[in-house]
Amino acid sequence: MNQAPARNSERRSRERRNARQKAAPDESWFGAFGTPGNTGAGALQNDDPQDGESRFDKGLQGEGADSADSRFLSRQAARVVESGQTAFERIYRTFIAARVALGVALLVTLGLASLLGPAPSITVVLVSLAYVAGAAGLWLLPRFQSATAPRALARLRSPQWLATIGADLVCFTALHALAPGSTLNYVALLVLPVLMAGVLTPRVMALATAAAVTLVLLGTAWLAVLSGSGSDATQQITQAGLAGAGLFVITVLAGELAGRLAREELTARGSLELARQQAQLNRLVIEEMQDGVLVVDRRGRARAANPAARTLLAPSGMSRPAPFQLRGVAAWDALVKAVERAFTEAAWPEAGRDVVLQFAPGTLTGLGQQRTLRVRVRFTRKREPAAGEEFCVLFLEDVRNMQARSRQEKLAAMGRVSAGIAHEIRNPLAAISQANALLFEDATDPAQLRLMRMVGENVERLKRIVDDVMEVAPGTPQDVGVIDANAVVTATTSEWARAAGLRLGADSILRVDMPAEPLGVHFDDEHLRRVLVNLLDNALRHASKAPGAIHLRLDSRHAGQAFLSIASDGAPIPPEVEPYLFEPFFSTRSRGTGLGLYICRELCERYGASIDYRLRAVGEARRNEFFVDMQRRPLDTPEARLHLTP
């Protein structure tokens, strides 16, 4: 009962072996660069017919990825090799040039022989001239045509095979047969076509070529013995047999060497393509890094710099692309000294050191700008002890960003705790408010009424704080559509002006610039209204009463972004206060909660928008500017434009 499964398993194994043998026909040693399934280097070719599959398959990191003949490596190497000049093309051209050189040497030898001895027959001279003319013509022809492919020499009837190996066999055999008793040994000339066949043609064709030449030599020797021109029959046949055996050895050795060369070129080109792709991946990763990456040599020359590093090295915008010299720029003196110190000490703290860049006064602020960078230095290993140039890699990070991330993490934890506390405070506040209202109804003493009003005002203030904290507390994300920012901002500005008692007109404190067309943005209308009111309240609180002291502007920067700006002519915000503008519970007013701008930022981040502050250039009438960048979206339906409260 157990014999049947064993026989089935053996039959399936035999079928798989037969299928592999059928799938691997004899092919040129260089066929690995042309068609799959060939011998020698062809064993490295990918057997997957789906050439369009992803490059990043399991061949890169899966099974067999560590071997030189992985599918990913071979497939990529084949594509690279086919796009440029291969070893086959170089060897083929070398053989073509060698045929011309051999033909010229043959003519020179015939000329010397005619001078020193009996002149060769006219037939031998004509055959030699015809060979030289054909070889020279073929040597010049590839310069004007495309290179020969390996498969072109894999057929006996192909023009390339007939013009090279076939022509050599015919001409050299004719010379050997026409002058059997000549002092010149034409048998050595037959080594060239045999060697060319062993290197450039499939194994079977190469061995068949060697066998055909051996039979020709044996037949010529046998005819010489029959005609009586040979001195010793045994010697003639033995020499022909030894020459044939040598040709077989040359064929096998040439084929093995050609196969090894093909495999090495396949692996080398595959490794080159893999390294090129890895370099592209590394470049992409470095370009997208948030930290600055700077490669500097001993001479203070920046060899490479990603966009983040170029941004940190410039007061605004980006510095020029690498390579560039760090020395000679006053703002980078501290960084240059840090690099020199790193090379001198050959060590650097793991956590890095702070370096202060002091930029010259600019046109935007009129003040010198200072930026503190956390610099971490890593050294590259020298490949040779006597290497004269060393590099170090600098990882740059703005200390303000580090502190902001740290504060953000703390604020996130504090926000979760505050939301829970605020929720628990609501019930006691409601009880205090209700009890104060009941006492207020029966109180008649003016002092008691004044105290009750104070209690009521502070209860309302605590309620607003609780509402603000609960507003930014994490909750279930809502599916927000697209609103018309033009309509929301217009309506909100009108309501705010009426509530603040402001007149709208040419001599009004508030100047408004709105687009003529609807502007769709990804935002919630109520949250956008709250952000706008908060910014307008801050502007009115610090602005003068002059006409146009507050400027509100809404426009579209490009197809994907909408820009909301509120600028005022109040006193510039001090540099020491600016980093804390959007932190919770930070306020310059004694009665302020410090949650207004923090809530604005949290609301903006919910919808992929951003809010920030900047100080305009000296000479601007309204230097303080808060701006919001929102994501633009198309208004699909008319209802999306009407998300307004009555």
pLDDT at 486 over 60: yes
Indicate the domain borders of the chain.
87-273, 290-401, 405-471, 482-642
Strands 550-558 and 510-513: parallel
Confidence of residue 47 (pLDDT cuts 50, 70, 90): very low
Q: φ and ψ at 610, to 5 degrees?
A: -140, 150
Confidence of residue 351 (pLDDT cuts 50, 70, 90): confident
| pLDDT, tens digit, 9 for 90 and up, residues 224-276 | 777 766 556 777 788 888 888 888 998 889 888 888 887 887 787 778 788 88
Do 548 and 511 meet the contact criterion of CB atoms below 8 Å apart?
yes
pLDDT at 367 over 80: no
Which CATH architecture is the domain 482-642 placed in? 2-Layer Sandwich (3.30)
CA separation for the pair 472, 489 (Å, rounded): 22
Confidence of residue 58 (pLDDT cuts 50, 70, 90): very low
CA distances from 321 to 216, 282, 315, 318, 331 (A): 70, 18, 15, 8, 17
Confidence of residue 49 (pLDDT cuts 50, 70, 90): very low
CA separation for the pair 347, 631 (Å, rounded): 46
Q: If you average pLDDT over every residue of the chain, what do you get?
A: 75
In the predicted model, what is the mean pLDDT of residues 47-58?
A: 34
What pLDDT, on the 0 to 100 scale, is given for residue 637?
A: 58
What pLDDT, on the 0 to 100 scale, is given for residue 31?
A: 44
pLDDT at 73 over 70: no
What pLDDT, on the 0 to 100 scale, is given for residue 488?
A: 92
Q: Which residue has the higher pLDDT, 57 or 627?
A: 627
Q: Which residue has the higher pLDDT, 410 or 431?
A: 431
Percent of the chain whose pLDDT exceeds 90:
6
What pLDDT, on the 0 to 100 scale, is given for residue 451?
A: 84
Reported for 56-65, long-range contacts at CB under 8 A and 24+ positions apart, including other chains, are none
Confidence of residue 103 (pLDDT cuts 50, 70, 90): confident
The pTM (predicted TM-score) of the whole model is 0.43
Greatest alpha-carbon pair distance for the chain in Å reads 155
Confidence of residue 362 (pLDDT cuts 50, 70, 90): low
Which CATH architecture is the domain 290-401 placed in? 2-Layer Sandwich (3.30)
pLDDT at 416 over 70: no
pLDDT at 489 over 90: yes
Two structure tokens written together for 31: 């066929």
Strands 561-568 and 324-325: unpaired
Which residues pair with residue 613 across a beta bridge?
626
Confidence of residue 18 (pLDDT cuts 50, 70, 90): low
Confidence of residue 182 (pLDDT cuts 50, 70, 90): low
Sign of the dihedral through C-alpha 233, 234, 236, 240 = positive
In the predicted model, what is the mean pLDDT of residues 535-556?
A: 89
What pLDDT, on the 0 to 100 scale, is given for residue 229?
A: 60
| pLDDT, tens digit, 9 for 90 and up, residues 494-505 | 999 888 888 777
In the predicted model, what is the mean pLDDT of residues 376-387?
A: 65
| pLDDT, tens digit, 9 for 90 and up, residues 265-296 | 778 777 878 888 887 887 788 888 888 888 88
What pLDDT, on the 0 to 100 scale, is given for residue 576?
A: 79
With 0-12 / 13-18 / 19 or more C-beta atoms within 10 angstroms meaning exposed / middle / buried, residue 193 is: buried
Confidence of residue 423 (pLDDT cuts 50, 70, 90): low
Chain-centre distance for alpha carbon 404:
29
Comparing 7-21, 62-76, 129-143, 404-418, the range with the smallest average pLDDT is 62-76
Comparing 65-79, 83-97, 632-646, the range with the smallest average pLDDT is 65-79
What pLDDT, on the 0 to 100 scale, is given for residue 23?
A: 39
CA separation for the pair 100, 132 (Å, rounded): 6
Nearest to 528 by CA among 604, 594, 459, 475: 604
CA separation for the pair 311, 148 (Å, rounded): 52
Confidence of residue 554 (pLDDT cuts 50, 70, 90): very high
Confidence of residue 592 (pLDDT cuts 50, 70, 90): low
Could you write out the three-class secondary structure of 72-135? Answer: HHHHHHHHHHHHCCCHHHHHHHHHHHHHHHHHHHHHHHHHHHHHHCCCCCHHHHHHHHHHHHHH
Two structure tokens written together for 99: 């045929």
| pLDDT, tens digit, 9 for 90 and up, residues 603-639 | 888 888 989 888 887 778 888 899 999 988 888 755 4
Two structure tokens written together for 270: 């595959």
CA separation for the pair 555, 616 (Å, rounded): 18
With 0-12 / 13-18 / 19 or more C-beta atoms within 10 angstroms meaning exposed / middle / buried, residue 287 is: exposed
Nearest to 317 by CA among 271, 377, 369, 282: 369
Q: Which residue has the higher pLDDT, 359 or 64?
A: 359
| pLDDT, tens digit, 9 for 90 and up, residues 428-485 | 888 888 888 888 777 778 888 888 888 888 888 777 777 766 666 555 455 567 899 9
Nearest to 337 by CA among 356, 350, 318: 356
